[in-house]
């Protein structure tokens, strides 16, 4: 399958829908690890492939460095998802997700924070990079 902007946008919509369903069932106030398990289950129920705690390789000037960097969820080998369960999203969360996207060579990512009133309005942020810009529309 060829990645397109439309495919990633549609996938983003589905993934956010999964997060909304988990939030609707559990509400705010639980541990991030619990949301992650339920989120993975919701993705699976909808037939969406996902890997959790994906190792993010760190290379610096030609050498691989030992670093325990982990992306929370990689959806359909194309979409990076970082989950939070805390008071508000910070600019550093954007920077971390953008770094993971770059290191994994993925064009799009979503930050999802389950510690909110409404996932759609305040609990998610979508990020893209230069790889996304270079993808075909359809």
**Residue predicted with more confidence, 1 or 61:** 61
Mean pLDDT of 121-126: 93
Query: What pLDDT shows up at residue 5?
Result: 97
In order of their start, the domains of the chain are 5-131 (3.40.1350)
Q: How many residues make up the chain in this entry? A: 138
Q: Examine the pLDDT at 1 and tell me if it is beyond 70.
A: no
Q: Examine the pLDDT at 123 and tell me if it is beyond 80.
A: yes
Strands 108-113 and 79-84: what pairing?
parallel
Q: Examine the pLDDT at 2 and tell me if it is beyond 90.
A: no
Strands 108-113 and 58-60: what pairing?
unpaired
pLDDT per position as a tens digit, 81-113: 999 999 989 999 999 999 999 999 999 999 999
Mean pLDDT of 31-44: 98
């Amino acid at each position: 399958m060829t990645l397109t902007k439309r495919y990633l946008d549609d996938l983003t919509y589905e993934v956010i829908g999964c997060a909304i369903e988990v939030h609707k069932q559990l509400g705010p106030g639980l541990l991030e690890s619990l949301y992650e398990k339920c989120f993975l289950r919701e993705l699976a129920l909808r037939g969406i492939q996902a890997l959790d705690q994906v190792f993010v390789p760190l290379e610096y000037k030609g050498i691989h460095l030992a670093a325990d960097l982990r992306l929370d969820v990689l959806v359909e080998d194309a979409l990076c998802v970082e989950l939070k369960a805390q008071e508000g999203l910070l600019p550093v969360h954007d920077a971390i997700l953008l770094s993971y996207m770059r290191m994994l060579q993925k064009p799009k990512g979503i930050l999802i924070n389950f510690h909110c009133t409404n996932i759609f309005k305040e609990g998610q942020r979508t990020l893209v990079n230069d790889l996304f810009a270079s993808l075909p529309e359809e």
